[in-house]
Every structure is written in C-alpha cells, then in structure tokens.
Amino acid sequence: MPTTLSLGQLTGAYIIDTAHTRIGFVARHTMSTKVRGEFEEYEGSAYLSGDQPSKSRAHLSIKAKSLRTHHEQRDEQLRSTFLETDNHPAITFGSTEVEQVDATNFKVTGDLTIRGVTKPVTIDVELTAAELDSQGDLRVGFLGSVTVNRKDWGVNWNAATSVLVSPKVTLEFDVIAVRQP
C-alpha cells in the first residue's frame, strides 16, 4: 500500500468515487471461455475505523440494469431472464462484520441481495492505497473478490443454462473511496 498513513489515520466516513471504481463479474461460458462484465451505475459508502477495523462497515447498491458485457443480446438476456431487473432493480451488499487478517488484508462479511434473495458472503479485501489527492482529500483504494454460486440467489434460466454457464461467478471490486469532511 503506497502510503505513509497509518490505519488509524484512515478513520472516517467515505463515499465511492464512481469515476475511479469498477464493479464487475467473471463467469465461465461453455466451460471454455470466460465472460467478463461490469455494472456501470452504483453507489456506496463506508465507515472505516482504522484503530478498530471490526467496527468498520460498508454498503453498496448496484443498479442491476446497468450490467454490461459488451454483447447486447447477452446483456438483455442477463438483465431480463437471469436478474429479472424489472422486478429486482437493485443488487445490494451491507457488511455485518469486518475481520483484519494482516496490515492490509481484511475479510468483509455481509448480506448480498440479488433477485430479492439475501445470503451471507465473505469478501477478501485488500487495502491498496491511501493518499491525499491534489485537493487534499483522502482517497483509499480497495481490491476485493468473492466467488458465489449464482443458483443460491435463483439466478438461473433453464436446464440448458446449467450446462452452458458455470454456476460459479466471481464478483470483483476495484474501489476508490473519498473521505467526507
């Protein structure tokens, strides 16, 4: 982590800088290729407690219709049939526990809601940056990922889908957040 700041100096409320953040996913298709996609519209906030990371918390809300894989027909299929975005417009995550693993790595457990189904997940998160920007605002960077079974959230279409698309999907987070005054 390129910084001279201690974890304690990071304490405060943050919002996601959507211009410098990527929230995406990777899934195997026909067991030979990977399909990568991302969500273009989301918002999130966090409270970081640097001296006591277990008191930190985070929230993320993703507009499900903002899903993009750069293949229009596939995107429409994912939005309508898999995610049912007309009935379930948001994918949300709210943390319930933060465990510090070492100086820059954490396990963030929380409730992930997709298609109206809420299940607990634990995301491996790495603090990658903490520095002041040119305006003097503190920015922190995090990389994280978790692999989930989409069927646990009812994200399926038909029997053929189970053969063509792997049930395991990796959710990826490359987040920059800005501390609020």
Q: Is residue 71 a part of any domain in this protein?
A: yes
Give the model confidence (pLDDT) of 127-147 as tens digits: 999 999 999 999 999 999 999
In a domain? residue 1 = no
Q: Annotate the chain with DSSP letters as a single string.
A: ---S--GGGG-EEEEE-GGG-EEEEEEEETTTEEEEEEES-EEEEEEE-SS-GGG-EEEEEEEGGGEE-S-HHHHHHIIIIIS-TTT--EEEEEEEEEEE-SSSEEEEEEEEEETTEEEEEEEEEEEEEEEE-TTS-EEEEEEEEEEEEGGGGT----HHHHHHEEEEEEEEEEEEEEE--
Task: Provide the pLDDT confidence category of residue 154 given band limits of 50, 70 and 90.
Answer: confident
Residue 165 lies in a domain: yes
Q: Is residue 73 part of a domain?
A: yes
Number of domains present in the structure of the chain: 1
Span 4-23, average pLDDT? 94
Q: What is the CATH number of the domain that holds 74?
A: 2.40.128.110
> Does residue 90 form part of some domain?
yes
Tell me the residue range of the domain where 71 lies: 7-179
pLDDT digits (tens, 9 = 90+) for 66-106: 999 999 998 898 898 888 999 999 999 999 999 999 999 99
Q: Is residue 130 part of a domain?
A: yes
**Would you place residue 160 in the very low, low, confident or very high pLDDT band (cuts 50, 70, 90)?**
very low
pLDDT digits (tens, 9 = 90+) for 14-24: 999 999 999 99
**Any domain includes 2:** no
Whether the pLDDT of residue 152 is over 80: the answer is yes
